[in-house]
Amino acid sequence: MGRAMAERQEAFDDLLELARQWLTEFADAGAALQRPARKARAAIPTEEPLDVVHGLPPIPDRFTVAAADGSQIQPDRHGAALYYLINIGSLVYRHGSGEAPEAKSESMLGYTEDDLYEDGAPVSGNLLDIRRDLGELERLVEVCESEGSVPTVALVDGSIVLWVLRDRPAGARSAKVGAYLEKLDRIRRSGSVVGGFVSRPGYNEVTQLLHLANLGGDTKKASEQQNPLEHLPDRAVFATLPPGARSSLFISPKEINQAEYTRQGHEVHFFYLNVVEEGQRPIIARVEVPAWVAKDDDKLNLIHGATVAQSRITGDYPYALARADELAYISSQERAALEDMVATALIRAGVPSTPSPKAHYKRLTRRGF
C-alpha cells in the first residue's frame, strides 16, 4: 500500500501542475464558461478571474461569531421505545468585548406520531438530518436577531445547500428548502451574515470547470472525454493561496441550488480559503455564502476575516464551531442514561419496556457475556 501511495502521489503532483496551468490559462474565460458550466454541473464562474487572489481584509475591532452544530440519536426499532433525540450545541464568541464565550446546548426528544412520521415516512436518516439542520439555523437566527448593531457572522458546519433532499418528492423538498431559506431571510434582515465552513473539502467542481475550459466549453466533449483531473480535489489546486487569502468566487452547480435557492435570492456561492498564519503549511477550507453576502463587499470581507480570525485561535478550524460540536456531542454514557430514563418512564406508565431479541443479544455479546 505504501508503494502504491507513493506512485499515486507522483501522478497527483503531475495533475496538480496541469490544473494550475489551466487555471492561469483560462483565468479570463469565466464569462464564456458560465452557461456551459451550468449545463455540465461544474463550478459556475462569476465575474472575477478564475485565478484571482484576495488577501486577508481588515476586520472590525468588535464583532460576533455565532456557531451551531448538532447531533442526533436515530429512532431504533429494536429499542425499548421508538423515539429520536436532536441535540444542538452553540457558541457565541464576541471578539473585542472581553466577555467569555456564551455556550449553550438544547435537546429535543421526538416521540409523538407527528414527530416520528412525515408524509407517511418514518423520520430517520436524511429527514432527521434536515430537522437537525433547521434546529441549528434557528439557534443562529436567535443570536443574529439579538446582537443589535454589532457585526455578526453565523457559521454552520458544512454546506448550506440541502443536497440530501435531492431524492425527496418535489413538493416535500420545496417545503423543507422554503423553511431553511426563511431562516436565511431572517438572518439577512437582521443585518448579519451567514456561511457554511467545510473542512478538508472533497469537491471537484472547479477541476470539472477546468476540464470544460480546456475543451472550449464544449459540454458534449466534456461528458464524453474522461477528465484527467477527475480525482483531484479543488482544495489541492488552491493550496498556493497565501495565508489568510481566498480564491475567486464560484457558484455551486448543485441542482437544488439552481432550482430553489436561486429563485428565492439565496443562490449559494463559494470560495476556497487558506486559514493558517504565515509560515505554516496551507490548510484549505471551503466557505459557502448566499448571493446577498457574495455580492456585498463589506459582508464578504467580514465573513472572510472573521473565519480566519476564528480558525487561528485553534490553528486550523473555527474555534466557535469546534466548541459547538463539543456541546452537541452525545456520549455513550449519555445515550445509556437516556435509555435508562426512557425505560423507567415506560415502567411508571405501565408500558412494557422490552428491546428486540437482536438488541438484547447484541448488548450481551458487546459487554463480554
Positive or negative torsion for Cα 330, 336, 337, 340: positive
Q: What is the pLDDT of residue 259?
A: 86
Q: What is the pLDDT of residue 164?
A: 67
Single out the residue of 184, 148, 156 nearest to residue 328, CA to CA.
156
Decide which of 368 and 317 is more confident. Answer: 317
CA distance 131 to 330: 17
Phi, psi values for residue 243, rounded to 5°? -55, 130
Q: What is the pLDDT of residues 275-328, one digit of tens each?
A: 999 999 999 999 999 999 999 999 999 999 999 999 999 999 999 999 999 999
Q: What is the pLDDT of residues 115-159, one digit of tens each?
A: 999 888 899 988 899 999 999 999 999 999 999 899 999 999 999
- The mean pLDDT of 75-90, rounded to a whole number, is 92
Q: What is the pLDDT of residues 134-145, one digit of tens each?
A: 999 999 999 999
CA distance 290 to 214: 29
Decide which of 260 and 366 is more confident. Answer: 260
- Where does 74-198 have alpha helices with state H? 113-116, 125-146, 170-189
Q: What is residue 64's three-state secondary structure?
A: strand
Counts of helices then strands in the chain (DSSP H, E): 14, 11
Other CB atoms within 10 Å distance of the CB of residue 182: 13
Q: What is the pTM of this model?
A: 0.92
Phi, psi values for residue 231, rounded to 5°? -100, 15
Single out the residue of 257, 270, 271, 284 nearest to residue 201, CA to CA.
284
Q: At what angle do helices 297-314 and 319-328 cross, to 10 degrees?
A: 70
Decide which of 356 and 223 is more confident. Answer: 223
Q: What is the pLDDT of residue 73?
A: 96
Q: What is the pLDDT of residue 166?
A: 62
- The mean pLDDT of 238-263, rounded to a whole number, is 95
DSSP 233-289: -HHHHTTTSPTT-B---EE---HHIIIIIGGGT--EEEEEEE-SPTTSPP-EEEEEE
